[in-house]
Amino acid sequence: MNLSHADFSQSTPRRTPVIDRRTFLLTLAAAAAARPALVRAGRGVGFGALQPDPQRILDLPQGFHYSIVSQTGDAMDDGLVVPGQPDGMAAFPGKHGNTVLVRNHEISSASSQPGPFGSGAALLPRVDTTNIYDRGKGATPGPGGTTTVTWNSSEQRTVKQHMSLIGTEVNCAGGQTPWGSWLSCEECFEDAGRTFEYGRVVTRERRHGYVFEVSASADRALPPQPLKDMGRFEHEAAAVDINTGIVYLSEDRHRSLLYRYVPQVPGRLAAGGKLQALVISGRPSFDTRNWGWRPDLLPGDQLPISWVDLPDADSARNDLRFRGFDLGAARFARGEGLCFANGELVLTCTIGGSERLGQVFAVRPGRVGAQGEQEGELRLVAESTVDSLLRNADNVTQSPWGDLVLCEDTAEHCGLVGLTANGKQYPLADNAYSPAELTGICFSPDGSEMFVNVQQRGLTLAIRGPWDLAAAPTGKS
């Protein structure tokens, strides 16, 4: 099936609607054979043209609307204030039909963005010191971490907000676990000590660059425990394979690896495990970025994979990605979004591709049998160009109707783009009013609401509308 300019002429009036068909025809070909085709009740792909927002926050299709769940600076129930820079987020079922959001905050100790402790860390004495990972000698405590928000969908109001992870830094993305917790990832690599950063003195008491597990059901912050076996590096996202308990991890660096953490006991990550990196079988130290004078990978290419153990995962130097590459691991360009969809791991690489406008990969994990683990495969799903609707893909999730929803991270503007099993793209939301990235895309457990953050504006939104336009599956593709 071929797409022409006309396919998007009515649904994307404010954006260049041409699609590089070679890039996206092969996007989810394997998944298309495995899941039902979607028919959208007379509306074609997507939900229609985006409508200008009179509040100048977020453009949405006709019939959709948002409510503000939370905003930076709001007073919380624990006596602290909502930090800035909301990022990765997940939604969990709460009591009385409420939805519980666990939300990262991507702030460093040197940042000018507001943290949870107010001006001059005046609110820090309100926090039990055992629940703070890094107090920064009382002067520059880690201002990131996570907030937990209880949202009443029927009344469209916030019931409660509190810090649930305190004293960490640059909590960017992460991932939801099947056992009711959130993996919050620090996208930094900082040592203890006193430094001068961005015009201010910063004191740290502990090392940073770890993953922390946060219970979605806890009604207060608990003592933080870094999961050191999961590696010390500039973490981005995490995704758990529900069949094995293995956690996959991305890394937001120009020269990054795709990691996985194999726990000794599935579901008990703190009990220890081993960290590994993806290797292209028979092609050690392969570069997937396509930054050379000719591409090393084409959309649709499938490569067998294996995994290499990474010693000294809790590294004293920020060199894990280099040591892994020397051991044969494949290299990626700013690995960011991760999610599982139809048994495959979806990975976005924000600046991959010959035009550095992003790549989407799918990883089929190997299966473990009597003879040990069988090889899986890596497939280049898509590579964006200047003619693509989707550019610089970042956070990704699978929607209740089966499509992928991807956040863009571009210098021009940031939107939400849907991607069908047949490779068609459509706009779902657009931030045309501020240089603010959209982050933390996720859906309520019942699928009735989509949540997203407008990061630099410090907003968390709940979006409702006629999601049933994504009609029930009617056949096989």
Give pLDDT tens digits for 384-413: 999 889 999 999 999 999 999 999 998 777
Nearest to 330 by CA among 393, 396, 379, 373: 379
The maximal CA–CA distance of the chain, rounded, in angstroms, is 62
Average pLDDT score over residue span 167-190: 98
Neighbouring CB atoms inside 10 A of 89's CB total: 26
Whether pLDDT at 349 is above 50: yes
Cα of first residue to Cα of last residue in the chain, in angstroms, is 12
> Residue range 262-278: average pLDDT?
97
Q: How confident is the model at residue 435 (pLDDT cuts 50, 70, 90)?
A: confident
Report, at the CATH architecture level, how domain 19-464 is classified. Answer: 6 Propeller (2.120)
pLDDT band, very low/low/confident/very high, at 468 (cuts 50, 70, 90): confident
Burial label for 343, CB within 10 Å (0-12, 13-18, 19+), is middle
Instruction: Report the distance separating Cα 168 and Cα 93, nearest Å.
Output: 26
Dihedral sign, Cα of residue 345, residue 348, residue 349, residue 354:
positive
Query: Residue 198: what pLDDT?
Result: 83
**Distance separating alpha carbons of residues 166 and 178, to the nearest angstrom:** 23
Give the pLDDT of residue 368: 65
- Give residue-wise pLDDT tens across range 372-388: 667 899 999 999 999 88
> Which one-letter DSSP state was computed for residue 21?
H
Rg of the chain, C-alpha, whole Å: 21
Quick: pLDDT tens for 114-129.
899 999 899 999 999 9
Model's pTM, two decimal places?
A: 0.89
Local confidence band at 83 (pLDDT 50, 70, 90 cut-offs) = very high
What confidence tens digit (pLDDT) does each residue in 130-158 have? 999 999 999 999 999 999 999 999 999 99
The H or E element spanning position 321 is: helix 320-326
Q: Is the pLDDT score of 109 beyond 70?
A: yes
Collapsing DSSP to helix, strand or coil, 356 comes out as coil
| pLDDT higher than 90, residue 176 | yes
Dist CA 236 CA 439 (whole Å):
12
- Pair 248, 254: CB distance under 8 Å: no
Q: Closest Cα partner for 379 from 234, 280, 468?
A: 280
* Range from 49-58, 360-369, 432-441, 461-470 carrying the lowest mean pLDDT: 360-369
Interatomic CA distance for residues 235 and 477, integer angstroms: 37
Pick from 209-223, 238-252, 422-436: least confident: 422-436
Whether residue 42 is predicted with pLDDT greater than 60 in this model: the reply is no
Predicted confidence (pLDDT) at residue 222 exceeds the cutoff of 70: yes
Let me know how long the chain is: 477
Question: What is the average pLDDT value for the chain, to the nearest integer?
Answer: 88
What the block records as the tokens of 432 is: 């045309």
3-state class (DSSP) for residue 391: coil
Q: What is the mean pLDDT of residues 339-348?
A: 96
CB burial class (10 A; 0-12, 13-18, 19+) of residue 150?
A: buried
pLDDT value, residue 21: 28
